[in-house]
């Protein structure tokens, strides 16, 4: 069993900053990529940013220049530094771990965190 534990969500004012953390725990051999997705009320879940085990990043155009994703492979942890927050960033943010192998010989699976609320007030 793999669990993703998120922290750092909360309420901030527009223009403020917030740092999200997500640590994957359990029996894990390797993780191909970790990232963040978000879902606002009435909308589909969308990609925010992802990062692979070798450091390749991908992010949504709406957050480029404001959000930075990073990771600590040794700790199976991913971070999302969010600066210059806008009310439109308000959403439930979900941590994702993709291509998770629990054994060296095993296949890969995807896991999701429970989600953490980020609210940006104007």
pLDDT 10s digits, 32-84 = 999 999 999 999 999 999 999 999 999 999 999 999 999 998 899 999 999 99
- HEC string of the chain? CEEEEEECCEEEECCCCEEEEEEEEECCCEEEEEEEEEECCCCCCEEEEEEECCCCEEECCCCCCCEEEEEEHHHCEEEEEECCCCHHHCEEEEEEEEEEECCCCCCEEEEECCCEEEEEEC
Per-residue pLDDT, 83: 98
Query: With 90 as the cut, is the pLDDT of residue 87 above it?
Result: yes
Supply the Cα-derived Rg of the chain in whole angstroms.
14
Q: How confident is the model at residue 119 (pLDDT cuts 50, 70, 90)?
A: very high
Q: Looking at the predicted structure, is the pLDDT value of residue 86 above 90?
A: yes
Cα(43)–Cα(30) distance, integer angstroms: 32
């Amino acid at each position: 069993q793999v669990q993703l534990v998120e922290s750092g969500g909360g309420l901030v004012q527009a223009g403020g900053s917030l740092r999200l953390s997500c640590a994957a725990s359990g029996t894990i051999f390797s993780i191909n990529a970790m990232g963040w997705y978000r879902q606002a009320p009435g909308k589909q879940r969308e990609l925010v940013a992802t990062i692979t085990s070798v450091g390749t990043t991908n992010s949504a155009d709406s957050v480029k220049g404001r959000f930075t994703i990073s990771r600590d492979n040794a700790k199976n942890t991913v971070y999302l530094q969010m600066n210059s927050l806008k009310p439109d960033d308000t959403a439930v943010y979900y941590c994702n771990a993709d291509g998770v192998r629990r054994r060296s010989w095993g296949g890969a699976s995807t896991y999701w965190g429970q989600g953490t609320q980020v609210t940006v007030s104007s």
